[in-house]
A and B are shown apart, each in its own frame.
Chain A
Amino acid sequence: MIRFEKVHKRLGGRTVLDGVDFEIAPGETFFIVGTSGAGKSVSLKHMVRLLTPDSGRVWIGDDCVSEARGRLLEKIRTRFGVLFQGAALLNWMCAGDNVGLPLLERTNRPEEEIEALAREKLALVGLETAYDKMPGELSGGMRKRVGLARAIITSPEIILYDEPTSGLDPVTSRSIDQLIDNLRQGLGVTSVVVTHDMHSALAIATRIAMLDAGRIVELGTPAEFIKSPNEKVQQFLQAQYITQRGAWEKTGTL
Chain B
Amino acid sequence: MNAWARLGRQVLTALRDTGRALVLLAEATSQVVFVFSRQNRSDTLHQMFVSGIKSLGVITVVAFFTGMILALQTGLEMRRYGQEVYIGSVVTLVLLREMGPFMTGLIIAASVGSAIAAQMGTMVVSEEISALEIMGINPVRFLVMPRLVALAVMMPFLTLYTNAIGILGGAIVGYTQLDVSFIAYFDNCTRYAENKDLLVGLFKAFVFGVIVVTVACHQGFATTEGAVGVGRATRRTVIISFLTILTMGYFLTRMFYK
Q: State whether these chains interact.
A: yes
Whole-angstrom distance between the Cβ of A164 and the nearest chain B Cβ: 15
Contact of A50 among B38, B134, B137 (CB under 8 A): B134
* B135 contacts the other chain (CB 8 A): yes
Q: Are A101 and B135 in contact (CB under 8 A)?
A: yes
* B131 contacts the other chain (CB 8 A): yes
Which residues of B (127-166) have their CB < 8 Å from a CB of A? 127-128, 130-131, 133-137, 142
Q: Are B136 and A102 in contact (CB under 8 A)?
A: yes
Q: Are B38 and A84 in contact (CB under 8 A)?
A: no
User: For B39, what are the chain A residues with a Cβ–Cβ distance below 8 Å?
Assistant: 104-105
* B126 contacts the other chain (CB 8 A): yes
Q: Are A50 and B130 in contact (CB under 8 A)?
A: yes
Q: Are B134 and A105 in contact (CB under 8 A)?
A: no
* A136 contacts the other chain (CB 8 A): no
Q: Pick the interface stretch among A86-94, A182-190, A192-200.
A: A86-94
User: For B133, what are the chain A residues with a Cβ–Cβ distance below 8 Å?
Assistant: 50, 77
Q: Are A82 and B134 in contact (CB under 8 A)?
A: yes
* A14 contacts the other chain (CB 8 A): no
Residue among A78, A85, A105 with max Cβ neighbours from chain B (10 Å)? A105
Chain B interface category by residue count? 10 to 19
Contact of A90 among B38, B128, B136 (CB under 8 A): B128
Q: Are A105 and B136 in contact (CB under 8 A)?
A: yes
* A80 contacts the other chain (CB 8 A): yes
Q: How far is the CA of A225 from the CA of B214 in the complex (A)?
A: 52
A88 and B137 in contact (CB under 8 A), knowing A104-B39, A105-B39? no
Q: Are B126 and A88 in contact (CB under 8 A)?
A: yes
Q: Are B136 and A86 in contact (CB under 8 A)?
A: no
Which single residue of chain A is at the shortest CB-CB distance from B125?
A86
A84 and B130 in contact (CB under 8 A), knowing A104-B38, A104-B39, A105-B39? yes
Q: How far is the CA of A237 from the CA of B134 in the complex (A)?
A: 33
Q: Are B127 and A101 in contact (CB under 8 A)?
A: no
* A113 contacts the other chain (CB 8 A): no
Q: Are B136 and A88 in contact (CB under 8 A)?
A: no
A82 and B131 in contact (CB under 8 A), knowing A88-B126, A104-B38, A105-B39? yes
Which single residue of chain B is at the shortest CB-CB distance from A111?
B38
Whole-angstrom distance between the Cβ of B37 and the nearest chain A Cβ: 10
Whole-angstrom distance between the Cβ of A212 and the nearest chain B Cβ: 24
Which single residue of chain B is at the shortest CB-CB distance from A74?
B136
Q: Are A84 and B136 in contact (CB under 8 A)?
A: no
Q: How far is the CA of A78 from the CA of B38 in the complex (A)?
A: 21
Contact with A along B108-134 (1 / 0, CB 8 A): 000000000000000100111011011
Which single residue of chain B is at the shortest CB-CB distance from A105?
B137
Known: A82-B134, A104-B38, A105-B39. 18 other contacts (CB 8 A): A45-B130, A50-B130, A50-B133, A74-B136, A77-B134, A78-B136, A80-B134, A84-B127, A84-B130, A84-B131, A85-B127, A86-B126, A86-B127, A89-B128, A101-B135, A105-B135, A105-B137, A111-B38
A interface residues, Cβ below 8 angstroms from B: 45, 48, 50, 74, 77-78, 80, 82, 84-86, 88-90, 101-102, 104-106, 111
10 A-B pairs closest in CB distance: A88-B131, A88-B127, A102-B135, A84-B127, A88-B128, A105-B137, A82-B134, A50-B130, A106-B136, A86-B126
**A-B residue pairs in contact (CB < 8 Å), sample of 10:** A50-B134, A74-B136, A82-B131, A84-B130, A88-B126, A89-B128, A90-B123, A101-B135, A104-B38, A105-B136
